[in-house]
Chain A
Amino acid sequence: MSKIIATAAIRGAHKLVNRAEAALADAIKAKGKDAAIEYPNTAYYLPIMYLFLGQKVQKLGDLEESMQEARNLLHDPPSDDLWLPYLGDTLDCGVATLLAEETIEVLKCFMGPSPVNGIWLGFTDDAILRTQGIKLVDGRMPGFAAIVGATKTNREAVELIRGLQERNILVFMAGNSGGRAIAEQLAAEGVEMNWDTFLVPYGKEITSAIHALNFAARSAMTFGGIEPGGMKQAREILRYNKERVHAFVLALDADPGVNGQLLTDEKYATAAGAINFGFPVISDVNIPEILPSGICTYEHVVANVPVAEIITRAAEVRGLKIKIEKIPIPVPFGAGFEGERVRKEDMHAQFGGQYTDAFELLRMKPLDQIEDGKIEVIGPEIDGMKEGEAFPLGILIDVAGREFQEDFESVVERRIHHYISCANGIFHMGQRSIIWVRISKEAKAKGFKIKHFGDILVTKIHNDFSSIIDRVQVKLITDAEKIKGPLEEAKRMYKHRDDRIAGMTDDDVEDFYSCTLCQSYAPNHVCIVTPQRLGLCGAYSWLDCKASYQIDKNGPNEPVQKGECLDPVKGQWKGVNDYIAVKSHGNLKNFNAYSMLEDPMTSCGCFECICGIVPEANGVMIVDRDHAGMTPVGMKFSTLAGKIGGGIQTPGFIGIGKLYISSPKFISAEGGIERLVWMPRTLKEEVGVRLKERLQKIGKEDLFDKIATEENAETPDKLLEFLESVDHPALKLDPII
């Protein structure tokens, strides 16, 4: 700590603790100590209190204890001369600041006015945390930037943000510089800000920066499986953040009128709190620097960096691994644009949807039939398309490579969505012959052409699949007549693939695949992916893992020899047991692929759904992460998720991918699909087609309507009543326990 920073931060901590105490006193006066207090939809209480104090704040009165702890952490600022060591004291004051800020922010939710207002989003709930967590885990997001303040001009703000998005860095925004906030600058420039664009404005006050830190805190609890409770766990969570959550603070522009100081005391105090997490501060202002490392991985405070260079410098200071491919297109490109929508009024032209024929197909060809990098547009280019009209679009990709196998076609084809939608101003959804694409007016104005789809695909496929693909060529068909033939061919190929994959069973293969992608976050978790049970995140099928292994032999997926079958019903193999013992670092001994009660698979935290036992109904329920309501087991998704993540076996509960629900191996050891008694309505609709097909195959079509949803029951009693009324088969099965 520079003494100047230490002094300001310690002063700031005192101010914020005083302010939080006053706000708390007012709240208690108005509502009483017993009033319940919580953030919406989280299993982690007030995450900052939970982290540092192991305290499960549920009532207003609990916050008095939190604030007492905060006060105990306050120290005096260093003296002008003959000072005593201040680094540790400042870090403690940083923690006191965070406790105070969490109090201030949660009291805003409680007392109003609501912090969720206009562009400001406030607290991030657990559902979003888990969805975004996957991106952290699989490297789509190299880290977070918490931006505090504003830039000199709006143009600088947009450029900075586009730069961060291009690098797939998640952006949190909080606080202001002299009343100006970067989120407001972006709003003025029409930049879309939400979780889909990786741009998250928390609040205009510096205290709202706490939401970036309570997000970070929960990521360690969710994905690291560290349950708070004491000093040891608190340290583990902070170290987890230092080592695995690559976040940093960008403090932009000076605060006016702070008595010869460039930033407010409160900003310094918040930074001291962030440094406890190992998150450094990079600023464009000439504040004092803290160069020695140790609490953070590299420097703690780096100053005077021009905004134009600040991302590069921040990446160095935080040690971010950023892979940025320069794709030869006239619009910015990055995962931050993946979730971006193009509204009708902003659209120049659209393709597919319900309007025209459209498809995408990737197929293997012999090497000599492909001219690498060739991009053909068959039909009109964008300049020939009138604003607002719909055109057909066939995306036909031919690839070749000595190591390429037919099985990989669909794996690579599935990436088309991700690639195309990462271009700023382009919207893409769906796959195969149900795609829907829009090009925005802005993209067109910048010079985006149909041909650029080809540039994106050629570059990205080469980058991501260089070990299996040597040549790529792309045909883009926008002619209504010329698309017909290729479309028919594509449909034939889709059917051929479906038949192949659908027919593949766990017994047909010698090897399963492991997935340890999430070990960067959940160090003891191992997924075993089989043809009939895909990864619990829903993103990795057995074929995906196989392709991934081909692509990178040292990557997160590797073949696991099944070896001797120890239990065909529960799905236990000696080879898998041996493998899992090593890869879980000795934490797990046995693993059953088809049982949720005995030695079930562990979860990293990225599960699409949780399947949990409902003893009263002699069956199981499934809840997906988009369902925020109550479930018949008496816990919401977020609470359940908090209990089963982090690489521990929790008999009776498993994390699963949605596709597993319609697999013949779905908890087959416990009786299979007939055990399923409850799932949220939206999930039931989503998996409906496949599930009905599956039920038809086993002659139990009527079961579908007997599966309850939240509309039928949210409690075990009501559920049982419903199941009895429809004569659900689970009630007649052997006792599940």
Chain B
Amino acid sequence: MPKDLLFADNATREMVKRAEAENIDTIWDRYDAVQPQCKFGSLGVCCRICTMGPCRISLTPGKDPQTGACGANADTIAARNIARMIAAGTAAHSDHGRGVALTLLQAAEKPNFDYQIKNADKLKAIAEVYGVKVQGRSISDIAQDVAKAALEEFGRYEGEVRIAATAPKTRQELWRKLRIFPRSIDREVVETMHRTTMGVDADYKNIMKQGMRAALADGWGGSMVATELSDVLFGSPQPLRSRANLGVIEADNVNIVVHGHEPLLSDVLAIMSKDEDLIAKAKAKGAKGIGLAGICCTANEILVRHGVPLAGNFMQQELAILTGAIEMMVVDVQCLMPSIATVAGCFHTQLVTTSSKARMAGVRHIEFHETEAKKICTEIIGEAIENFSNRKKERVYIPKDTEKLVAGFTTESVFHHLGGKYRSTYRPLNDAIIAGRLRGAAGVVGCSTPRIDYESGHIKMVKELLKNDVLVVSTGCNAITCAKHGLLKPESAFEFAGKGLQEICRAVGIPPVLHVGACVDNSRILRTLTNIVSEGGLGNDLSDLPVAGAAPEWMSEKAVTIGFYFVASGVYTVIGHPLPMMGSQNLFNYLTRDIEQEVGGKWAFEPDAVVAAHKMIRHIDKKRKALKLKPMMYEQALKPEE
């Protein structure tokens, strides 16, 4: 029996009922089926690192066993488990970044390549970071050097991750002092795996330091490379209008849904789906045209650059297929539930895997190579068109719900939105915070999960923040949830935002929640915060800013990494479900308390989204007080403490 979804959007509720009627299991059913879950695993005190184990630490204080066979205690075991999650998250984002860098290199080297450099200005800005000479050189020459410099970030054997030098100077110095400045991306992943293997690092704080270094190698390394070079290759996002939710699927189109995380394939698909020959073929099959929609972060990537509508987020991947109107679901990497193969099997939908890194047994695989991007995309779309005639009309069930949205904000575009060409500036944002019009800003990001009432975490938290004049920036599945609930519409400011935030939204013409991209684009938030620091008046470091981060419905290892790089960058970060380490009191104390003395940020775990929002606001208030900012201009729903 699926959970009764009380908070979710209507389309999801409707489709979950349909799944039940069709007797098709979804994530909610399977989640119920795996209950009760292993307590030792949940609390992080199960060690499976060597085959003397699995060992587990007693959950009753003072009762044996308090160590594993090798003598590792709860602190060591929990810390090692967390560190390995971080390494996995860094690996995921960074491998994505490497793929973009390799593609940029080919685009630079091959004149007739399927990818072209779309944003030369940004290329030059990155060239400056890497010390690549710009003057008097061709774009392709610059791009080659930039791509190589970016690729060196992964395997450099000495020095530091260079793009991390875009962080505020004080922050960099702190990282060096603490010896957590990342050296090279792959190295930090490898070293984390080494340190946490059998019989190496046993000091939980030392392990966590390496964890932070690996996380920083993601946020200020792999993820940043992915975002920055994607902007070069595919163009920087610009604000645009689109729609979200399953209702964007149109019954009379040949429908292709892309799902996963990388833009390499999907960007070309977005372009090719407009190809007149292919559309003509679709029409010849009796369709109106070709409909492309996205799930998860691949959706975000092509939404912000092409306006391709969002079919849904992580939790809706099966539901999209359940409409019976999807000719093909094309997946790349990350957050792919193997269950989609099963659900697709119940319909005419063809599931296609495209990455050699992410295959599913028995599923059609069309391997994607950047060298033949257009050819492969033509083949994929061609197969989808062919499959249109296999669709069973009587099994088509598309919920009507869609919501309008505005997306496509970036670190760089803030300058123009706030000041135009000639007064290009962050000043109005800083001023708004300083003057007490905005209480602060929050990044609400991350996954969605069956663990809580679907979307309640995101929506309750975001609305509570907005109500208290906190501007929200969003990525990943949170952004999609916000879109479905209308929070990405500029008009929503007047319904949900406090008076101060409303004034800002009215002055600039922005929604109260700014969609800044996929989960890999959390690096945009880091850069944005850095720009706020540089603009002045709000302290000298990221940890001085009245901001907070949150992932109320997190579930992926990538979210652990993201959380750690925000904490290590000085940001207070609240997540809904605790990190799996609650079996170690020492580690808990360190991550939620003592770590703040070292890096300025810390963790908090709070399942109640409204309480979590209040914790963020209290933290923001604390920072406002430290900066001696003005009292809030308008009355606040959550009164500042005296």
A residues adjacent to B (C-beta < 8 A):
1-3, 6, 52, 73, 78, 81-92, 94-95, 231, 234-235, 238, 276, 290-295, 300
Contact = CB atoms under 8 A, between A and B. Distances in A.
A345 to B, nearest CB: 50
Interface centre among B489, B507, B509 (most CB of A within 10 A): B507
B47 to A, nearest CB: 51
A291 B416 CA distance: 19
Contacts of A87: 417-420, 428, 507-509
B26 to A, nearest CB: 32
Interface string B390-432: 0000000000000010100000000011111111110111111
A85 B509 contact: yes
A95 B420 CA distance: 9
Given A73-B421, A90-B420, A84 B429 contact: no
B506 interface: yes
A290 B509 CA distance: 12
B509 A238 contact: no
Given A2-B507, A81-B491, A84-B240, A238 B428 contact: no
B419 A292 contact: no
B431 to A, nearest CB: 4
Contact of A84 (B406, B427, B507): B406
B503 interface: yes
A85 B431 contact: no
Contacts of B427: 294-295
B429 A82 contact: no
Contacts of B508: 1, 85-87, 292
B241 interface: yes
Interface of B: 239-241, 404, 406, 416-425, 427-432, 435, 437, 489-491, 503-504, 506-510
Contacts of B435: 292-293
15 contacts: A6-B509, A78-B509, A81-B489, A82-B489, A87-B418, A87-B420, A88-B420, A89-B420, A95-B421, A291-B437, A292-B435, A292-B504, A292-B507, A293-B432, A294-B428
A84 B420 contact: no
Q: Which 10 A-B pairs have the closest CB atoms?
A: A294-B428, A91-B420, A86-B509, A294-B427, A88-B420, A85-B417, A294-B431, A88-B416, A92-B420, A85-B509
Nearest to A239: B423
B491 A82 contact: yes
Contacts of B417: 85, 87-88
Given A87-B417, A90-B420, A292-B437, A3 B431 contact: no
Given A91-B422, A235-B423, A83 B509 contact: yes
A292 B507 CA distance: 7
A299 to B, nearest CB: 10
Contact of B419 (A3, A83, A88): A88
A73 B423 CA distance: 13
A294 B432 contact: yes
B423 A238 contact: yes
A3 B406 CA distance: 16
A231 B240 CA distance: 27
A295 B425 contact: yes
A2 B420 contact: no
A161 to B, nearest CB: 31
A65 B157 CA distance: 52
Contacts of A295: 418-419, 423, 425, 427-428
Nearest to B428: A294
A52 B418 CA distance: 18
A87 B417 CA distance: 6
B421 A290 contact: no
A78 B420 CA distance: 15
A421 B7 CA distance: 76
B400 to A, nearest CB: 19
B419 A91 contact: yes
Contacts of B420: 87-92, 94-95, 276
A290 B422 CA distance: 19
A73 B508 CA distance: 18
B404 A82 contact: yes
Contacts of B432: 292-294
B239 A84 contact: yes
Contacts of A73: 421
B316 to A, nearest CB: 23
Given A95-B421, A294-B418, A294-B427, A83 B490 contact: yes
Contact of B422 (A85, A89, A90, A238): A238
A406 to B, nearest CB: 49
Contacts of B423: 91, 235, 238, 276, 295
Given A82-B491, A85-B509, A292-B432, 16 more contacts: A3-B509, A78-B509, A83-B490, A84-B241, A87-B417, A87-B428, A88-B419, A88-B421, A92-B420, A94-B420, A292-B428, A292-B437, A292-B503, A293-B428, A295-B418, A295-B425
A293 B406 CA distance: 24
A208 B640 CA distance: 49
Nearest to A290: B507
Contacts of A90: 420
A73 B509 CA distance: 18
Nearest to A4: B506
Given A85-B417, A234-B422, A1 B428 contact: no
Nearest to A297: B431
Nearest to B420: A91
A364 B229 CA distance: 76
A83 to B, nearest CB: 5
Contacts of A294: 418-419, 425, 427-432
Contact of A82 (B419, B421, B490, B504): B490
A441 B224 CA distance: 77
A226 to B, nearest CB: 14
A78 B239 CA distance: 12
A276 B490 CA distance: 24
Interface centre among B404, B421, B432, B489 (most CB of A within 10 A): B421
A292 B431 CA distance: 8
A276 B419 CA distance: 8
Contacts of B425: 294-295
A495 B490 CA distance: 77
A238 B239 CA distance: 26
A92 B424 CA distance: 10
Interface centre among B422, B430, B432, B506 (most CB of A within 10 A): B422
B245 to A, nearest CB: 15
Contacts of A290: 507
A521 B15 CA distance: 67
Contacts of A84: 239-241, 406, 509
Nearest to A275: B423
A87 B428 CA distance: 11
Nearest to B435: A293
Contacts of B503: 291-292
Contact of B506 (A2, A88, A92, A234): A2
Nearest to B238: A84
A235 B416 CA distance: 13
A226 B463 CA distance: 47
A295 B427 CA distance: 7
Contacts of A231: 421-422
Contacts of B437: 291-292
A236 to B, nearest CB: 11
Nearest to B510: A85
B506 A95 contact: no
Contacts of A6: 509
A290 B508 CA distance: 10
A7 B427 CA distance: 23
B416 A82 contact: no
Contacts of B404: 81-82
A88 B491 contact: no
A94 B240 CA distance: 23
A604 B509 CA distance: 41
Interface centre among A3, A91, A234 (most CB of B within 10 A): A91
Nearest to A86: B509
A1 B509 contact: yes
